[in-house]
Structure 1
Amino acid sequence: MPSSTTRIILRWIHLVAGVPVLGYIYSPFAELPNYAPVVRYAAMPAILLSGLWMWKGHVLRRLLTKRAV
């Protein structure tokens, strides 16, 4: 898969995972317990991993290809 396609997919994952975080921030205080598990265990890890992969994915890919050889 071309790197441009991978970057587009990661960018969309990053943006879509940010929607529950916005809902968590702007929801009424009484509804926070409904959003907390989704944001804590699904959205934040997806945002962090996709952001790190877009930022430093080239370094990880280089390390993995050196070890495979």
Structure 2
Amino acid sequence: MSTDIVRIVKGNPTPEELAAVVTVIAARAAVPAPPADTGRASNWATYWRNARTPFHPGPGQWRASAHP
């Protein structure tokens, strides 16, 4: 049974290159997992999404934007 975590299978890396690879792997392992997506927007975002009407660009629309 092998206990190798990282194995170099091709090439002849220098000690500096190995150190760089180990640093990247260690840094990646230290990053916490992103929070689980709840699949729903917050109540504040949902309110404003429903309260505002979408923009409809076109000729004369700047005039229509002043009169709700």
Fold similarity call, TM over 0.5: no
Q: Does 1 or 2 have the higher relative contact order (CA < 8 Å, sep 6+)? A: 1
Q: Which has the higher helix share?
A: 1
TM-score by length of structure 2 reads: 0.29
TM-score by length of structure 1 reads: 0.28
